[in-house]
Amino acid sequence: MREKAELRPAGHLWGQADTYATQFRVKEETGDRLTRVAAIGLAGENELPFSLVLCDHGRVAGRTGMGAVMGAKRLKAIALRGRGDIPVARPEAFAVSRRRVNIELRNDNLSRSMRLAGTSSGTDYFDYLGTMPKRYFTAGVFEGGDESVGRGHGQVDTQRGQRMPRLRHRLRPGRPARRR
pTM of the model: 0.59
> For the segment 108-159, what is each residue's pLDDT rounded down to a tens digit?
888 887 777 776 677 777 777 777 777 666 766 666 655 655 455 445 444 4
pLDDT at 56 > cutoff 60 = yes
Q: What are the boundaries of each domain within the chain? A: 19-80, 91-163
Q: Is 68 helix (H, G, I), strand (E, B) or coil?
A: helix
Residue 60 has a pLDDT of 87
- Confidence band of 43 (pLDDT split at 50, 70, 90): very high
> For the segment 60-119, what is each residue's pLDDT rounded down to a tens digit?
887 788 999 999 999 999 999 888 888 999 999 999 999 999 999 889 888 887 777 776
- Helix ranges (H only) for the chain are 19-30, 42-45, 66-72, 91-107, 109-117, 122-129
Between CA 3 and CA 119 the distance in angstroms is 36
Within the chain, how many helices (H) and strands (E) appear? Answer: 6, 6
Between CA 163 and CA 43 the distance in angstroms is 34
In which order are the strands placed within the sheet that holds 77-80?
59-61, 53-55, 36-39, 77-80
Q: Decide: 80 and 36 in contact? Cβ < 8 Å.
A: yes
